[in-house]
Amino acid sequence: MKKFYPKSGRVILHVDMNSFFASVEIAHDPSLKGKPLAIAGDAKQRKGIIVTCSYEAREYGVKTTMQLWEAKKLCPKLIVKQPDHERYRLISRAIFDLLRKYSKLVEPVSIDEGYVDITDCQELGNPVQIAEMIQRDLLNTLDLPCSIGIAPNKFLAKMASDMKKPLGITILRKRDIPAVLWPLPAIEMHGIGEKTAEKLEAIHVKTIKDLAHANDLQLQTAIGIRGIKLKERANGIDPRKVDPEAAAVNKSIGSSITLPRDISNQAELLSVLEKLSANVTARLKRKQYVTKNVSVMIKYKDYETITRSRMLDNPIVEASDIFIAAKSLFVKNWNGHPVRLLGITGQDLLKADHAFEQLSLFTYEKETKKEPLYDAIKKMKKKYGPSILQTGAEASHPENKKES
């Protein structure tokens, strides 16, 4: 079996679930199998946009991000279901638990895709056999289809998994790059969106081959240091390891809402921000984080969107503190035009038990009065263990609650 694995280097799979939300609904209700199905938001709440759809719906031209009314026009018999995020989260956990049966090196990158390093899994078979086993296992256990890319690094594995859907298995080696990847338009490369593609085209980079051979200085001028990284990927260079711990790092926690109508009354908008602050606080406490950076997103009636953030002197978690920061940002940056969507995000997160307050002159006196209490807590934890006393966030966490 060793001949199927490199003497040096890695073998990485990218497992990508096919039409995940739709597939989960079909697995939950088999009567939907073979029918045109779309998962979309509530049209009455102005969220009537297709999130994903079954392959039967795609045959009619239905696509992700399409307006619901437009999709129904293309496919009058389209079955529409609203997203059930709790169900999708539970199934996602089951998917990654299944993948960990094959390798300890599993890195989820979203709810429906992840990387698996199988370099040290030679006893299970060759890479294609392992991919086939995973594909069958997901179908037999969860009734969910997936596509799998096999490659020597994460970038090529991701590109490979997109090449054959549904239920595809694709191998992409470095020697395949000139024939398989380079002829593709630059926008089809993972990591390149419409805006980046437009900037690249302005310097005559239209294909992945153009990017692979582009001038470094021109790339940096056009899209910054990221351009060099994209050029490396276009040449098949990607040293990133599959990191099982990466998913445990929460980069941000936020909450947003599309308003049922465009609102231009400041008091109403601030009331919405207050509710969003409470949502963010609940999520931060559930995951036992505090935030040092609050951002506010404002989407106007004409879809123009701005995001503004503010670094804080001290980490915060309480809704009142988040609301104060968000309100300040909103009042400073809102142009008075009708608002369609509002969002608040906590960024630069810290684990609550590792966070500390960078004391200002204002808070110093208040904190020094608490020092005897802190000393007592420290002594109790040293004598009886760290779990003898818990923060409100820890105590409220479901896993820390005992049945009575």
Q: Would you call 403 a catalytic residue per the annotation?
A: no
> How does strand 12-17 pair with strand 339-351?
unpaired
C-alpha–C-alpha distance, residues 56 and 36, integer Å:
5
Q: Are residues 138 and 177 in contact, defined by beta-carbon separation less than 8 angstroms?
A: no
* Cis preceding-peptide flag for 83 (omega within 30 of 0): no
Q: Which of 280, 356, 262 is nearest to 318 (CA)?
A: 280
29 is in an annotated binding site: no
C-alpha–C-alpha distance, residues 52 and 381, integer Å:
50
Q: Are residues 340 and 380 in contact, defined by beta-carbon separation less than 8 angstroms?
A: no
Q: Are residues 131 and 144 in contact, defined by beta-carbon separation less than 8 angstroms?
A: no
Q: Give φ, ψ of 193 to 5 degrees.
A: -105, -175
Specify the amino acid at residue 57: A
C-alpha–C-alpha distance, residues 349 and 346, integer Å:
7
Give the three-class secondary structure for 261: strand
- Residue corresponding to tokens 């999709």: 71
Give the active site residue among 25, 70, 113, 304. Answer: 113
Is the sign of the CA dihedral 259, 263, 269, 271 positive or negative? Answer: negative
What does DSSP assign to residue 263?
A: E
Number of Cα atoms under 13 Å in the Cβ half of residue 321: 17
C-alpha–C-alpha distance, residues 135 and 93, integer Å:
16
143 is in an annotated binding site: no
Point out which residues pair with 385 in neighbouring strands.
none
Give the three-class secondary structure for 304: coil
Instruction: Give me the helices (H) in 148-265, please.
Output: 154-161, 177-180, 194-201, 208-212, 216-223, 226-234
C-alpha–C-alpha distance, residues 315 and 311, integer Å:
9
C-alpha–C-alpha distance, residues 24 and 143, integer Å:
8
DSSP secondary structure string for all residues of 69-92: HHHHHH-TT-EEE---HHHHHHHH
Binding residues for Mg(2+): 16, 112
Show which residues are catalytic.
113
Binding residues: 16, 112
